[in-house]
Structure 1
Amino acid sequence: MNILMLMETFSVVVETGSFTAAAEKLGLSKSFVSKQVSLLEQDLGARLLYRTTRKLSLSEEGSQFYNHCQLIMQEAESARAELLDSHSSPKGKIRMTLPQSLIISGLGVILIRFQQRYPDIELEVIASGRVEDLVESGIDIAIRVGQLEDSSLMSKRLADCRFQVVAAPQYIERFGEPAQPADLLNHNCLIYGDSKVNKGWPFRSFSGEVLTVKTKGNLISNDGHLIVESMLNSLGIGFGPDFLFARYVAEGKLKPLLEEYSSPPTMISALYPMNRNLPRRVRILIDYLADHLDGSNGE
Protein backbone atom coordinates (compact mmCIF):
# COMPACT_ATOMS: atom_id res chain seq x y z
CA MET A 1 0.00 0.00 0.00
CA ASN A 2 1.47 3.36 -1.07
CA ILE A 3 0.37 5.67 1.73
CA LEU A 4 1.53 8.82 -0.07
CA MET A 5 -0.55 7.92 -3.12
CA LEU A 6 -3.59 7.31 -0.92
CA MET A 7 -3.05 10.64 0.84
CA GLU A 8 -2.80 12.46 -2.48
CA THR A 9 -5.98 10.83 -3.75
CA PHE A 10 -7.82 11.70 -0.56
CA SER A 11 -6.62 15.31 -0.74
CA VAL A 12 -7.81 15.72 -4.32
CA VAL A 13 -11.22 14.29 -3.40
CA VAL A 14 -11.54 16.85 -0.60
CA GLU A 15 -10.37 19.73 -2.80
CA THR A 16 -12.63 18.89 -5.74
CA GLY A 17 -15.60 17.91 -3.61
CA SER A 18 -16.49 14.68 -5.40
CA PHE A 19 -15.09 11.33 -6.52
CA THR A 20 -16.03 12.11 -10.11
CA ALA A 21 -14.13 15.42 -10.22
CA ALA A 22 -11.16 13.88 -8.41
CA ALA A 23 -11.06 10.99 -10.88
CA GLU A 24 -11.03 13.41 -13.82
CA LYS A 25 -8.23 15.47 -12.28
CA LEU A 26 -6.12 12.40 -11.49
CA GLY A 27 -6.87 10.61 -14.77
CA LEU A 28 -8.29 7.60 -12.94
CA SER A 29 -11.66 5.87 -12.80
CA LYS A 30 -14.23 6.95 -10.23
CA SER A 31 -14.43 3.44 -8.77
CA PHE A 32 -10.63 3.30 -8.34
CA VAL A 33 -10.59 6.65 -6.53
CA SER A 34 -13.41 5.53 -4.24
CA LYS A 35 -11.59 2.29 -3.49
CA GLN A 36 -8.40 4.22 -2.67
CA VAL A 37 -10.20 6.33 -0.08
CA SER A 38 -11.84 3.22 1.41
CA LEU A 39 -8.44 1.52 1.71
CA LEU A 40 -7.08 4.60 3.48
CA GLU A 41 -9.98 4.57 5.94
CA GLN A 42 -9.44 0.88 6.60
CA ASP A 43 -5.74 1.43 7.19
CA LEU A 44 -6.39 4.30 9.61
CA GLY A 45 -9.35 2.65 11.29
CA ALA A 46 -11.38 5.85 11.01
CA ARG A 47 -14.07 7.34 8.77
CA LEU A 48 -12.66 10.30 6.89
CA LEU A 49 -15.60 11.20 4.67
CA TYR A 50 -19.35 11.16 5.02
CA ARG A 51 -20.89 10.20 1.68
CA THR A 52 -24.39 11.13 0.49
CA THR A 53 -25.94 11.10 -2.97
CA ARG A 54 -25.44 14.87 -3.21
CA LYS A 55 -22.17 15.70 -1.54
CA LEU A 56 -19.16 14.63 0.49
CA SER A 57 -18.26 16.10 3.87
CA LEU A 58 -15.27 15.65 6.14
CA SER A 59 -15.53 13.96 9.51
CA GLU A 60 -13.61 15.47 12.42
CA GLU A 61 -10.88 12.86 11.92
CA GLY A 62 -10.95 13.51 8.18
CA SER A 63 -10.45 17.25 8.70
CA GLN A 64 -7.45 16.67 10.97
CA PHE A 65 -5.94 14.15 8.59
CA TYR A 66 -6.47 16.45 5.60
CA ASN A 67 -4.45 19.18 7.29
CA HIS A 68 -1.56 16.76 7.70
CA CYS A 69 -1.92 15.67 4.07
CA GLN A 70 -1.64 19.27 2.90
CA LEU A 71 1.59 19.81 4.84
CA ILE A 72 3.13 16.62 3.51
CA MET A 73 2.11 17.37 -0.09
CA GLN A 74 3.54 20.88 0.19
CA GLU A 75 6.80 19.53 1.57
CA ALA A 76 7.03 16.97 -1.22
CA GLU A 77 6.39 19.62 -3.88
CA SER A 78 8.92 21.96 -2.30
CA ALA A 79 11.54 19.19 -2.24
CA ARG A 80 10.85 18.48 -5.89
CA ALA A 81 11.02 22.15 -6.85
CA GLU A 82 14.23 22.66 -4.87
CA LEU A 83 15.93 19.72 -6.55
CA LEU A 84 14.90 20.93 -10.00
CA ASP A 85 16.00 24.47 -9.12
CA SER A 86 19.40 23.26 -7.91
CA HIS A 87 20.26 22.25 -11.48
CA SER A 88 19.66 25.76 -12.84
CA SER A 89 20.92 29.27 -12.15
CA PRO A 90 19.01 30.87 -9.24
CA LYS A 91 16.46 33.40 -10.42
CA GLY A 92 13.55 35.43 -9.15
CA LYS A 93 13.00 38.55 -7.04
CA ILE A 94 14.27 39.28 -3.53
CA ARG A 95 12.88 42.20 -1.52
CA MET A 96 15.24 43.25 1.23
CA THR A 97 15.55 46.09 3.71
CA LEU A 98 18.66 47.34 5.47
CA PRO A 99 19.97 50.53 7.15
CA GLN A 100 21.48 53.13 4.86
CA SER A 101 24.58 53.08 7.04
CA LEU A 102 25.35 49.58 5.80
CA ILE A 103 24.94 50.60 2.17
CA ILE A 104 27.30 53.57 2.39
CA SER A 105 29.89 51.63 4.39
CA GLY A 106 30.42 48.91 1.80
CA LEU A 107 27.53 46.47 1.76
CA GLY A 108 26.19 48.21 -1.33
CA VAL A 109 29.31 47.14 -3.19
CA ILE A 110 28.83 43.56 -1.95
CA LEU A 111 25.26 43.56 -3.32
CA ILE A 112 26.53 44.78 -6.69
CA ARG A 113 29.05 41.94 -6.79
CA PHE A 114 26.27 39.52 -5.82
CA GLN A 115 24.19 40.65 -8.81
CA GLN A 116 27.18 40.34 -11.10
CA ARG A 117 27.53 36.73 -9.98
CA TYR A 118 23.78 35.98 -10.07
CA PRO A 119 22.37 38.17 -12.88
CA ASP A 120 19.02 36.35 -12.94
CA ILE A 121 18.20 37.41 -9.37
CA GLU A 122 16.35 40.73 -9.15
CA LEU A 123 17.04 42.74 -5.97
CA GLU A 124 14.67 45.35 -4.59
CA VAL A 125 16.61 47.13 -1.83
CA ILE A 126 14.78 49.34 0.68
CA ALA A 127 17.16 51.57 2.65
CA SER A 128 15.56 51.81 6.08
CA GLY A 129 16.45 50.95 9.65
CA ARG A 130 12.83 50.75 10.75
CA VAL A 131 11.61 47.37 11.96
CA GLU A 132 9.07 46.15 9.42
CA ASP A 133 6.57 43.32 9.53
CA LEU A 134 8.34 41.24 6.91
CA VAL A 135 5.32 39.10 6.06
CA GLU A 136 2.87 42.00 5.74
CA SER A 137 5.37 44.08 3.77
CA GLY A 138 6.30 41.22 1.45
CA ILE A 139 9.97 41.47 2.47
CA ASP A 140 12.15 38.38 2.11
CA ILE A 141 15.10 39.46 4.24
CA ALA A 142 16.02 42.31 6.59
CA ILE A 143 19.58 43.18 7.62
CA ARG A 144 19.78 44.65 11.10
CA VAL A 145 22.57 46.03 13.30
CA GLY A 146 22.34 45.52 17.05
CA GLN A 147 20.93 43.06 19.53
CA LEU A 148 17.77 41.40 18.25
CA GLU A 149 14.45 41.59 20.01
CA ASP A 150 12.43 38.44 20.58
CA SER A 151 10.31 37.74 17.53
CA SER A 152 8.92 34.99 15.38
CA LEU A 153 11.58 35.69 12.75
CA MET A 154 14.54 33.47 12.02
CA SER A 155 17.99 35.07 12.19
CA LYS A 156 21.55 34.40 11.11
CA ARG A 157 24.62 36.25 12.36
CA LEU A 158 26.53 37.79 9.48
CA ALA A 159 29.31 39.70 11.26
CA ASP A 160 30.30 41.28 14.56
CA CYS A 161 30.54 45.03 15.10
CA ARG A 162 30.84 47.62 17.85
CA PHE A 163 29.37 51.09 18.21
CA GLN A 164 31.84 53.91 18.72
CA VAL A 165 31.99 57.67 19.26
CA VAL A 166 33.98 59.67 16.70
CA ALA A 167 34.77 63.27 15.78
CA ALA A 168 37.05 65.14 13.41
CA PRO A 169 40.42 66.24 14.86
CA GLN A 170 39.51 69.85 14.03
CA TYR A 171 36.35 69.61 16.16
CA ILE A 172 38.37 68.24 19.08
CA GLU A 173 40.95 71.03 18.75
CA ARG A 174 38.19 73.63 18.92
CA PHE A 175 35.86 72.18 21.55
CA GLY A 176 38.00 69.70 23.45
CA GLU A 177 37.79 65.94 23.86
CA PRO A 178 35.21 64.37 26.24
CA ALA A 179 36.89 62.47 29.05
CA GLN A 180 33.82 60.50 30.10
CA PRO A 181 30.39 59.79 28.56
CA ALA A 182 28.65 62.45 30.68
CA ASP A 183 30.86 65.11 29.02
CA LEU A 184 28.93 64.54 25.79
CA LEU A 185 26.12 66.62 27.27
CA ASN A 186 28.38 69.66 26.70
CA HIS A 187 28.96 68.84 23.03
CA ASN A 188 27.01 69.08 19.82
CA CYS A 189 26.05 65.47 19.05
CA LEU A 190 24.89 64.46 15.60
CA ILE A 191 22.03 61.96 15.84
CA TYR A 192 21.52 59.24 13.25
CA GLY A 193 17.72 59.05 13.25
CA ASP A 194 17.41 55.57 11.75
CA SER A 195 19.16 53.93 14.69
CA LYS A 196 17.61 52.36 17.79
CA VAL A 197 20.16 54.28 19.89
CA ASN A 198 19.22 57.71 18.54
CA LYS A 199 17.59 58.62 21.88
CA GLY A 200 20.50 57.52 24.02
CA TRP A 201 24.05 56.42 23.36
CA PRO A 202 25.03 53.29 25.35
CA PHE A 203 28.40 52.87 27.04
CA ARG A 204 30.00 50.37 29.38
CA SER A 205 31.52 51.57 32.63
CA PHE A 206 34.75 50.22 34.13
CA SER A 207 32.65 47.91 36.33
CA GLY A 208 30.91 46.51 33.25
CA GLU A 209 27.62 48.32 33.83
CA VAL A 210 25.83 49.62 30.75
CA LEU A 211 24.91 53.29 31.01
CA THR A 212 23.04 55.53 28.56
CA VAL A 213 23.68 59.19 27.77
CA LYS A 214 20.76 61.12 26.29
CA THR A 215 22.75 63.23 23.88
CA LYS A 216 21.45 66.25 22.01
CA GLY A 217 22.56 68.43 19.14
CA ASN A 218 21.47 70.55 16.21
CA LEU A 219 21.18 67.76 13.64
CA ILE A 220 19.03 64.64 13.56
CA SER A 221 18.84 62.76 10.26
CA ASN A 222 18.22 59.29 8.89
CA ASP A 223 20.61 60.11 6.05
CA GLY A 224 23.89 58.45 6.94
CA HIS A 225 25.74 60.46 4.28
CA LEU A 226 24.68 63.73 5.93
CA ILE A 227 25.73 62.60 9.41
CA VAL A 228 29.17 61.45 8.23
CA GLU A 229 29.75 64.57 6.12
CA SER A 230 28.78 66.76 9.08
CA MET A 231 31.36 65.02 11.24
CA LEU A 232 34.00 65.34 8.53
CA ASN A 233 33.24 69.06 8.42
CA SER A 234 33.81 69.33 12.21
CA LEU A 235 30.19 70.16 13.04
CA GLY A 236 29.86 67.71 15.91
CA ILE A 237 30.41 64.30 17.48
CA GLY A 238 28.81 61.19 16.00
CA PHE A 239 27.97 57.72 17.25
CA GLY A 240 27.44 54.59 15.17
CA PRO A 241 28.70 51.15 14.16
CA ASP A 242 32.45 51.01 13.61
CA PHE A 243 32.13 49.89 10.00
CA LEU A 244 30.50 53.24 9.17
CA PHE A 245 33.64 55.15 10.19
CA ALA A 246 36.43 52.63 9.52
CA ARG A 247 37.60 54.23 6.28
CA TYR A 248 37.78 57.74 7.74
CA VAL A 249 39.43 56.60 10.96
CA ALA A 250 42.10 54.82 8.92
CA GLU A 251 42.67 58.01 6.91
CA GLY A 252 42.91 60.13 10.06
CA LYS A 253 39.85 62.19 9.15
CA LEU A 254 37.92 60.96 12.20
CA LYS A 255 39.18 60.01 15.64
CA PRO A 256 37.56 57.45 17.99
CA LEU A 257 36.64 58.89 21.40
CA LEU A 258 35.87 57.38 24.81
CA GLU A 259 37.34 54.03 23.74
CA GLU A 260 37.73 52.90 27.35
CA TYR A 261 33.95 53.23 27.67
CA SER A 262 33.21 51.29 24.52
CA SER A 263 29.66 50.02 24.17
CA PRO A 264 28.95 46.29 24.42
CA PRO A 265 29.76 44.36 21.23
CA THR A 266 26.87 43.60 18.92
CA MET A 267 26.32 42.04 15.51
CA ILE A 268 24.95 42.39 12.02
CA SER A 269 22.16 39.87 11.40
CA ALA A 270 19.92 38.68 8.60
CA LEU A 271 16.26 38.26 9.57
CA TYR A 272 13.74 36.32 7.53
CA PRO A 273 10.28 34.81 8.04
CA MET A 274 10.05 31.46 9.77
CA ASN A 275 9.49 29.29 6.72
CA ARG A 276 10.85 25.84 6.05
CA ASN A 277 10.57 26.49 2.34
CA LEU A 278 12.89 29.50 2.21
CA PRO A 279 13.57 30.12 -1.49
CA ARG A 280 16.97 28.97 -2.66
CA ARG A 281 17.80 32.46 -4.00
CA VAL A 282 17.27 33.95 -0.51
CA ARG A 283 19.45 31.28 1.13
CA ILE A 284 22.17 32.00 -1.44
CA LEU A 285 22.05 35.73 -0.67
CA ILE A 286 22.23 35.16 3.09
CA ASP A 287 25.23 32.84 2.71
CA TYR A 288 26.92 35.30 0.33
CA LEU A 289 26.53 38.17 2.79
CA ALA A 290 27.86 36.02 5.65
CA ASP A 291 30.93 35.06 3.60
CA HIS A 292 31.71 38.62 2.51
CA LEU A 293 30.78 40.60 5.61
CA ASP A 294 32.35 38.45 8.32
CA GLY A 295 35.62 40.02 9.35
CA SER A 296 35.47 42.56 6.55
CA ASN A 297 33.39 45.34 8.14
CA GLY A 298 31.62 45.77 4.86
CA GLU A 299 34.79 46.39 2.87
Structure 2
Amino acid sequence: MHTLALMETFTVVVESGSFTAAAEKLKLSKSFVSKQVSLLEQDLGTRLLHRTTRTLSLSDEGSQFYRHCQRIMKEAELARAEILDSQNAPRGKIRMTIPQSLIISGFSQLLIAFQRQYSDIDLDVIASGRVENLIEEGIDLAIRVGQLEDSSLVSRRLGECRFQVVASPSYLQAWGEPTHPSDLMKHNCLLYGDSKSSRGWQFRKPDGEALTVKVTGKLTSNDGNLIVEGMRQGLGIGFGPSFLFKDHIDSGELCPLLGDYCQPPSSISALYPLNRTLPRRVRILIEYLAAHLALE
Protein backbone atom coordinates (compact mmCIF):
# COMPACT_ATOMS: atom_id res chain seq x y z
CA MET A 1 0.00 0.00 0.00
CA HIS A 2 1.15 3.56 -0.69
CA THR A 3 3.30 5.04 2.07
CA LEU A 4 1.10 8.15 2.37
CA ALA A 5 -1.95 5.98 3.07
CA LEU A 6 -0.02 4.01 5.70
CA MET A 7 1.10 7.27 7.32
CA GLU A 8 -2.49 8.50 7.43
CA THR A 9 -3.63 5.27 9.13
CA PHE A 10 -0.77 5.50 11.64
CA THR A 11 -1.69 9.12 12.42
CA VAL A 12 -5.34 8.23 13.01
CA VAL A 13 -4.32 5.35 15.31
CA VAL A 14 -2.11 7.64 17.40
CA GLU A 15 -4.72 10.38 17.64
CA SER A 16 -7.56 7.91 18.36
CA GLY A 17 -5.61 6.11 21.07
CA SER A 18 -6.48 2.59 19.92
CA PHE A 19 -6.82 0.37 16.87
CA THR A 20 -10.52 -0.09 17.58
CA ALA A 21 -11.28 3.64 17.65
CA ALA A 22 -9.12 4.23 14.56
CA ALA A 23 -10.91 1.44 12.69
CA GLU A 24 -14.29 2.98 13.50
CA LYS A 25 -13.12 6.40 12.34
CA LEU A 26 -11.64 5.02 9.11
CA LYS A 27 -14.57 2.64 8.59
CA LEU A 28 -12.18 -0.29 8.26
CA SER A 29 -11.71 -3.51 10.20
CA LYS A 30 -9.48 -3.49 13.28
CA SER A 31 -7.30 -6.26 11.83
CA PHE A 32 -6.80 -4.33 8.58
CA VAL A 33 -5.76 -1.17 10.46
CA SER A 34 -3.34 -3.16 12.60
CA LYS A 35 -1.86 -4.78 9.51
CA GLN A 36 -1.33 -1.37 7.89
CA VAL A 37 0.67 -0.15 10.88
CA SER A 38 2.69 -3.37 10.88
CA LEU A 39 3.48 -2.90 7.18
CA LEU A 40 4.65 0.63 7.91
CA GLU A 41 6.90 -0.61 10.71
CA GLN A 42 8.34 -3.28 8.40
CA ASP A 43 9.02 -0.68 5.73
CA LEU A 44 10.78 1.62 8.22
CA GLY A 45 12.59 -1.23 9.97
CA THR A 46 11.60 -0.04 13.44
CA ARG A 47 8.79 -0.31 15.97
CA LEU A 48 6.56 2.76 16.07
CA LEU A 49 4.03 1.62 18.68
CA HIS A 50 4.27 -0.35 21.91
CA ARG A 51 1.16 -2.55 22.13
CA THR A 52 -0.39 -4.27 25.12
CA THR A 53 -3.90 -5.63 25.60
CA ARG A 54 -4.97 -2.36 27.21
CA THR A 55 -2.58 0.40 26.13
CA LEU A 56 -0.96 1.83 23.06
CA SER A 57 2.06 4.10 23.29
CA LEU A 58 4.59 5.61 20.92
CA SER A 59 8.20 4.51 20.83
CA ASP A 60 10.88 7.20 20.55
CA GLU A 61 11.06 6.58 16.80
CA GLY A 62 7.25 6.59 16.67
CA SER A 63 7.07 10.00 18.34
CA GLN A 64 9.56 11.43 15.86
CA PHE A 65 7.76 9.87 12.90
CA TYR A 66 4.35 11.04 14.15
CA ARG A 67 5.49 14.68 14.12
CA HIS A 68 6.45 14.30 10.47
CA CYS A 69 3.12 12.60 9.72
CA GLN A 70 1.19 15.44 11.35
CA ARG A 71 2.91 18.02 9.17
CA ILE A 72 2.51 15.98 5.98
CA MET A 73 -1.17 15.25 6.62
CA LYS A 74 -1.80 18.93 7.28
CA GLU A 75 -0.03 19.92 4.06
CA ALA A 76 -2.02 17.33 2.12
CA GLU A 77 -5.29 18.68 3.49
CA LEU A 78 -4.25 22.25 2.72
CA ALA A 79 -3.35 21.24 -0.84
CA ARG A 80 -6.75 19.62 -1.26
CA ALA A 81 -8.53 22.64 0.19
CA GLU A 82 -6.54 24.96 -2.05
CA ILE A 83 -7.56 23.09 -5.21
CA LEU A 84 -11.20 23.06 -4.13
CA ASP A 85 -11.00 26.75 -3.27
CA SER A 86 -9.45 27.61 -6.65
CA GLN A 87 -12.68 26.53 -8.32
CA ASN A 88 -14.63 29.22 -6.48
CA ALA A 89 -14.33 32.97 -6.03
CA PRO A 90 -11.67 33.80 -3.38
CA ARG A 91 -13.18 34.51 0.02
CA GLY A 92 -12.24 34.79 3.67
CA LYS A 93 -10.30 37.23 5.86
CA ILE A 94 -6.80 38.61 5.34
CA ARG A 95 -5.24 40.06 8.47
CA MET A 96 -2.36 42.28 7.41
CA THR A 97 -0.06 44.92 8.86
CA ILE A 98 1.25 47.97 6.97
CA PRO A 99 3.37 50.98 8.04
CA GLN A 100 1.25 54.05 8.64
CA SER A 101 3.32 55.96 6.09
CA LEU A 102 1.99 53.62 3.39
CA ILE A 103 -1.57 53.87 4.68
CA ILE A 104 -1.62 57.65 4.26
CA SER A 105 -0.13 57.44 0.77
CA GLY A 106 -1.76 56.11 -2.38
CA PHE A 107 -1.28 52.55 -1.11
CA SER A 108 -4.55 52.80 0.78
CA GLN A 109 -6.36 53.39 -2.50
CA LEU A 110 -4.94 50.11 -3.82
CA LEU A 111 -6.45 48.25 -0.88
CA ILE A 112 -9.83 49.88 -1.41
CA ALA A 113 -9.74 49.07 -5.14
CA PHE A 114 -8.74 45.47 -4.31
CA GLN A 115 -11.70 45.05 -1.99
CA ARG A 116 -14.07 46.45 -4.59
CA GLN A 117 -12.78 43.86 -7.06
CA TYR A 118 -12.81 40.98 -4.55
CA SER A 119 -15.88 41.72 -2.46
CA ASP A 120 -15.87 38.31 -0.73
CA ILE A 121 -12.45 38.97 0.84
CA ASP A 122 -12.44 40.79 4.19
CA LEU A 123 -9.40 42.96 4.96
CA ASP A 124 -8.29 43.51 8.56
CA VAL A 125 -5.57 46.17 8.19
CA ILE A 126 -3.32 47.12 11.13
CA ALA A 127 -1.34 50.34 10.72
CA SER A 128 1.96 49.53 12.40
CA GLY A 129 5.63 49.86 11.60
CA ARG A 130 6.89 47.46 14.25
CA VAL A 131 8.03 43.95 13.39
CA GLU A 132 5.31 41.65 14.65
CA ASN A 133 5.49 37.92 15.20
CA LEU A 134 3.18 37.05 12.34
CA ILE A 135 2.30 33.54 13.53
CA GLU A 136 1.71 34.43 17.19
CA GLU A 137 -0.41 37.44 16.29
CA GLY A 138 -2.40 35.66 13.59
CA ILE A 139 -1.20 37.94 10.80
CA ASP A 140 -1.31 36.59 7.25
CA LEU A 141 0.74 39.28 5.55
CA ALA A 142 3.05 42.17 6.44
CA ILE A 143 4.08 44.99 4.10
CA ARG A 144 7.44 46.53 4.99
CA VAL A 145 9.80 49.16 3.59
CA GLY A 146 13.59 48.90 3.64
CA GLN A 147 16.03 46.36 5.05
CA LEU A 148 14.57 42.98 6.02
CA GLU A 149 16.21 40.92 8.75
CA ASP A 150 13.83 38.11 9.81
CA SER A 151 14.96 34.96 7.95
CA SER A 152 11.91 33.05 9.20
CA LEU A 153 9.75 35.05 6.77
CA VAL A 154 9.34 34.74 3.02
CA SER A 155 9.85 38.05 1.20
CA ARG A 156 8.26 39.11 -2.10
CA ARG A 157 9.40 42.43 -3.57
CA LEU A 158 6.45 44.59 -4.60
CA GLY A 159 8.14 47.83 -5.61
CA GLU A 160 10.67 50.37 -4.42
CA CYS A 161 10.99 53.88 -3.03
CA ARG A 162 13.69 56.37 -2.11
CA PHE A 163 14.09 58.20 1.16
CA GLN A 164 13.98 61.93 0.48
CA VAL A 165 14.62 65.21 2.25
CA VAL A 166 11.80 67.68 1.58
CA ALA A 167 10.61 71.11 2.65
CA SER A 168 8.07 73.69 1.56
CA PRO A 169 9.00 76.68 -0.64
CA SER A 170 8.00 79.02 2.22
CA TYR A 171 10.43 77.33 4.64
CA LEU A 172 13.27 77.46 2.12
CA GLN A 173 12.59 81.13 1.42
CA ALA A 174 12.73 81.94 5.14
CA TRP A 175 15.64 79.71 6.20
CA GLY A 176 17.59 78.87 3.06
CA GLU A 177 18.19 75.61 1.22
CA PRO A 178 20.72 73.08 2.55
CA THR A 179 23.34 72.13 -0.04
CA HIS A 180 25.03 69.37 1.96
CA PRO A 181 23.56 66.89 4.48
CA SER A 182 25.63 68.45 7.28
CA ASP A 183 23.71 71.71 6.74
CA LEU A 184 20.63 69.98 8.18
CA MET A 185 22.10 70.32 11.68
CA LYS A 186 21.35 74.05 11.43
CA HIS A 187 17.67 73.51 10.54
CA ASN A 188 14.50 72.55 12.38
CA CYS A 189 14.01 68.94 11.28
CA LEU A 190 10.63 67.30 11.71
CA LEU A 191 11.21 63.78 13.00
CA TYR A 192 8.95 61.01 11.77
CA GLY A 193 8.93 57.80 13.80
CA ASP A 194 10.63 56.79 17.03
CA SER A 195 12.43 59.76 18.56
CA LYS A 196 15.71 57.82 18.92
CA SER A 197 15.93 56.02 15.58
CA SER A 198 14.58 58.94 13.53
CA ARG A 199 17.37 61.37 14.50
CA GLY A 200 20.05 59.69 12.37
CA TRP A 201 19.25 60.49 8.73
CA GLN A 202 21.10 58.23 6.30
CA PHE A 203 22.76 59.54 3.13
CA ARG A 204 25.33 58.44 0.56
CA LYS A 205 28.00 60.74 -0.83
CA PRO A 206 28.48 60.92 -4.63
CA ASP A 207 31.55 58.67 -4.22
CA GLY A 208 29.40 56.01 -2.52
CA GLU A 209 30.53 56.59 1.08
CA ALA A 210 27.76 56.32 3.67
CA LEU A 211 26.96 59.37 5.75
CA THR A 212 24.74 59.70 8.84
CA VAL A 213 23.61 63.12 10.04
CA LYS A 214 22.31 63.56 13.57
CA VAL A 215 19.46 66.05 13.30
CA THR A 216 17.33 67.86 15.86
CA GLY A 217 13.91 69.41 15.74
CA LYS A 218 10.96 70.72 17.70
CA LEU A 219 8.41 68.19 16.45
CA THR A 220 8.63 64.40 16.66
CA SER A 221 5.72 62.10 15.86
CA ASN A 222 4.93 58.62 14.59
CA ASP A 223 1.94 60.15 12.79
CA GLY A 224 3.01 60.82 9.22
CA ASN A 225 0.02 63.08 8.63
CA LEU A 226 1.22 65.47 11.33
CA ILE A 227 4.79 65.56 9.98
CA VAL A 228 3.67 66.15 6.39
CA GLU A 229 1.24 68.87 7.47
CA GLY A 230 4.03 70.57 9.44
CA MET A 231 6.23 70.58 6.34
CA ARG A 232 3.43 71.88 4.13
CA GLN A 233 2.94 74.81 6.50
CA GLY A 234 6.65 75.69 6.52
CA LEU A 235 7.45 74.45 10.02
CA GLY A 236 10.61 72.56 9.08
CA ILE A 237 12.43 69.99 6.93
CA GLY A 238 11.31 66.36 6.77
CA PHE A 239 12.84 63.03 5.75
CA GLY A 240 10.99 59.89 4.72
CA PRO A 241 9.96 57.50 1.94
CA SER A 242 9.13 59.08 -1.40
CA PHE A 243 5.57 57.75 -1.50
CA LEU A 244 4.81 59.83 1.58
CA PHE A 245 5.57 63.07 -0.28
CA LYS A 246 4.85 62.25 -3.94
CA ASP A 247 1.49 64.03 -4.30
CA HIS A 248 2.73 67.11 -2.44
CA ILE A 249 5.89 67.29 -4.58
CA ASP A 250 3.81 66.91 -7.75
CA SER A 251 1.56 69.78 -6.63
CA GLY A 252 4.51 72.03 -5.75
CA GLU A 253 3.67 72.19 -2.03
CA LEU A 254 6.96 70.45 -1.15
CA CYS A 255 10.39 70.46 -2.79
CA PRO A 256 12.87 67.54 -2.79
CA LEU A 257 16.32 68.46 -1.48
CA LEU A 258 19.83 66.98 -1.52
CA GLY A 259 19.04 64.64 -4.42
CA ASP A 260 22.74 63.93 -5.04
CA TYR A 261 23.01 62.42 -1.56
CA CYS A 262 20.01 60.07 -1.59
CA GLN A 263 20.51 56.44 -0.61
CA PRO A 264 19.86 53.75 -3.26
CA PRO A 265 16.18 52.77 -3.57
CA SER A 266 14.65 50.71 -0.76
CA SER A 267 12.33 47.79 -1.42
CA ILE A 268 8.65 47.64 -0.53
CA SER A 269 8.14 43.98 0.35
CA ALA A 270 5.38 41.56 1.28
CA LEU A 271 6.30 39.17 4.09
CA TYR A 272 4.63 35.97 5.23
CA PRO A 273 5.69 32.99 7.40
CA LEU A 274 8.16 30.56 5.86
CA ASN A 275 6.47 27.32 6.95
CA ARG A 276 2.88 28.27 6.22
CA THR A 277 0.96 27.38 3.06
CA LEU A 278 -0.19 30.70 1.63
CA PRO A 279 -3.98 30.86 1.18
CA ARG A 280 -5.11 31.67 -2.34
CA ARG A 281 -6.75 34.93 -1.24
CA VAL A 282 -3.40 36.16 0.17
CA ARG A 283 -1.54 35.18 -3.01
CA ILE A 284 -4.10 37.11 -5.05
CA LEU A 285 -3.59 40.22 -2.90
CA ILE A 286 0.21 40.00 -3.22
CA GLU A 287 0.00 39.64 -7.00
CA TYR A 288 -2.46 42.55 -7.17
CA LEU A 289 -0.17 44.86 -5.17
CA ALA A 290 2.92 43.82 -7.12
CA ALA A 291 1.22 44.47 -10.47
CA HIS A 292 -0.08 47.91 -9.51
CA LEU A 293 3.05 49.11 -7.71
CA ALA A 294 5.16 48.11 -10.74
CA LEU A 295 3.12 50.56 -12.82
CA GLU A 296 3.76 53.53 -10.56
| Fold match (TM-score > 0.5) | yes
Matches within 5 A, 1:4-83: 4-83=4-83
Partners of 2:131 and 2:4 in 1: CA distance = 42
Q: 1:245 aligns to what?
A: 245
Q: Percent identity?
A: 70
Q: Are the equivalent residues in 2 in contact too, given 1:157–1:269 (CA < 8 A)?
A: yes
Tell me whether 162-171 or 140-149 shows the greater mean CA deviation. 140-149
Q: 1:191 aligns to what?
A: 191
TM-score w.r.t. structure 2 length? Answer: 0.95
For residue 39 of structure 1, report the CA deviation from its aligned partner.
2.2
Q: Give 1:39's aligned amino acid.
A: L
Q: 2:117 aligns to what?
A: 117
Matches within 5 A, 1:126-165: 126-165=126-165
Tell me whether 29-38 or 170-179 shows the greater mean CA deviation. 29-38
Deviations 1:31-84, CA, capped at 9 Å, x for gaps: 221122222222333222111111011222222222222222112111100000
Partners of 2:147 and 2:63 in 1: CA distance = 42
CA RMSD of aligned residues (A): 1.6
Q: Give 1:9's aligned amino acid.
A: T
What residue ranges of structure 1 are gaps of 5+ in the alignment?
none
Partners of 2:295 and 2:189 in 1: CA distance = 29
Partners of 1:194 and 1:80 in 2: CA distance = 45
Q: Are the equivalent residues in 2 in contact too, given 1:49–1:62 (CA < 8 A)?
A: yes
Deviations 1:89-120, CA, capped at 9 Å, x for gaps: 11111111111211121011000011011111
Matches within 5 A, 1:83-122: 83-122=83-122
Partners of 1:6 and 1:287 in 2: CA distance = 38
> After TM superposition, where is structure 1 displaced by more than 4 Å over at least 4 residues in a row?
194-197
The reply on whether 1:182 has 2:182 as its aligned counterpart is yes
Partners of 1:257 and 1:197 in 2: CA distance = 21
Would the alpha carbon gap of residues 204 and 182 (structure 1) be closer, same or farther in structure 2, given more than 3 Å must change?
same
Q: Give 1:104's aligned amino acid.
A: I
1:108 is paired with a residue whose SS is: helix
Partners of 1:87 and 1:269 in 2: CA distance = 29
Q: Give 1:97's aligned amino acid.
A: T
2:5 is paired with a residue whose SS is: helix
Tell me whether 3-12 or 14-23 shows the greater mean CA deviation. 3-12
Tell me whether 220-229 or 43-52 shows the greater mean CA deviation. 43-52
For residue 30 of structure 1, report the CA deviation from its aligned partner.
1.2
Q: Are the equivalent residues in 2 in contact too, given 1:99–1:194 (CA < 8 A)?
A: no
Q: Are the equivalent residues in 2 in contact too, given 1:130–1:194 (CA < 8 A)?
A: no
TM-score w.r.t. structure 1 length? Answer: 0.94
Q: Are the equivalent residues in 1 in contact too, given 2:158–2:267 (CA < 8 A)?
A: yes
